[in-house]
Structure 1
Amino acid sequence: MNIFITQSADLGHAKAFLLRQLVAEAVRQQNHQVVNAAQDATLVIVLGDQLPKNPDLVGKKVYLVGIDQAFNAPESAITDALFRATDYVIPVQSEVDSSPVLSGDKAKNIVAVTACPTGVAHTFMSAEAIETYAKQQGWNIKVETRGQVGAGNPISQEEVAEADLVFVAADIDVDLDKFKGKPMYRTSTGLALKKTAQEFEKAFSEAKVYTGGGTATKEKEESLGEKKGVYKHLMTGVSHMLPLVVAGG
């Protein structure tokens, strides 16, 4: 069976990465296949406390797996999902929305992509920083992580269409074709992590419509090339420590 693993919107990206790894391994041990897109799945497993509002899941069998079960008993979570999954229904938003809004009466819709050379540490830490700051401002935010296991929390075409801004924090070239025609701002994972507010201010004033094909400048690529060797070795060590840090809270 083809199984797609995703997560609740309120689940931190670092914790989501660890849980996805555990559940994906349990899926493979039971001779099922992990797929990277909901449309390719027969069953969708959602990690966290609530179902996401994702049109791509319509028509799919979905099962919600709590954090404790995913961490402590991923094998039983798969078994439960196989027998107890139900048809996905898009969650209805509360009629009372206390989130602050920006100009006018419409909250900003932002989609973001994060990626680093190793695809783990900075990818997920910057994603959490972006998501946390955006929610504090009352914006609607969806962050897609590009890592060693493919795209996590993938952004749908419907979400792209509704987006007011595409915020890309990447230290490597990533495929951004699905964002053609949308205002885009590009920065590094380091700046997105350490200077989140400043980078969003720049994003709203400096974003340009993405037409496709453009990558980092030659100077940036050369600089990245010089640093990549040492950086990769350093961040690989951090990446191996990440599950221990997340598990410890």
Structure 2
Amino acid sequence: MKIIGITACPTGIAHTYMAQECLEKECLKRGYEVKIETQGGLGIENELTDEDVESADVVILAVSVVIEGEERFTNKPTIHTDVDEAISHVEDLVNRAVALAKGE
């Protein structure tokens, strides 16, 4: 299973990176491949490549603001949520992503 995503919060500081860390830890704990792009105060970091997007099973957009490049995921199963869910309910969020990827 390969999960990719973007995290972004209104101030682009703490919550953006906390959400990234929570998603990465949960996915790695389960043995999933994961890459999370951040769109924070320092701009776009860990940018998702075309190859990342093509090979992904599912996309998690844990964002509380408008992001750049959302059109990249048009043909991918995508969950739209906010950074708070990625931080506080990451297990449930990843469960939903996996179910979506599997068509459940």
Q: TM-score, normalised by structure 1?
A: 0.39
Between the two proteins, the alignment pairs up a number of residues equal to 100
Residue in 2 that maps onto 1:174: 67
- Give secondary structure in 2 for the equivalent of 1:114: strand
- Give secondary structure in 1 for the equivalent of 2:31: coil
Q: Counterparts of 1:162 and 1:133 in 2: how far apart (Å)? A: 19
Structure-to-structure mapping, 1:142-161, within 5 angstroms: 142-161=35-54
Q: Does 1:114 align with 2:10?
A: no
Q: Does 1:187 align with 2:81?
A: yes
The one-letter amino acid of 2:75's match is G
Residue in 2 that maps onto 1:132: 25
Q: Counterparts of 1:173 and 1:206 in 2: how far apart (Å)? A: 23
Structure-to-structure mapping, 1:5-16, within 5 angstroms: none
Q: Counterparts of 2:96 and 2:34 in 1: how far apart (Å)? A: 17
Of the three residues 190, 199, 202, the one matched with 2:93 is: 199
Identical-residue share of aligned pairs (%): 33
Residue in 2 that maps onto 1:164: 57
> 1:145-169: CA deviations, max 9, x gaps?
0012211100100010000000110
Q: Counterparts of 2:98 and 2:2 in 1: how far apart (Å)? A: 12
- Give secondary structure in 1 for the equivalent of 2:38: strand
Question: Is the contact made by 2:4 and 2:56 (CA closer than 8 Å) also made in structure 1?
Answer: yes
Q: Give 1:206 shift.
A: 4.7
Q: Counterparts of 1:135 and 1:205 in 2: how far apart (Å)? A: 17
Between Structure 1 and Structure 2, the one with more strand by share is: 2
The one-letter amino acid of 1:138's match is G
Question: Is the contact made by 2:36 and 2:46 (CA closer than 8 Å) also made in structure 1?
Answer: yes
| Relative contact order higher in (CA < 8 Å, ≥ 6 apart) | 2
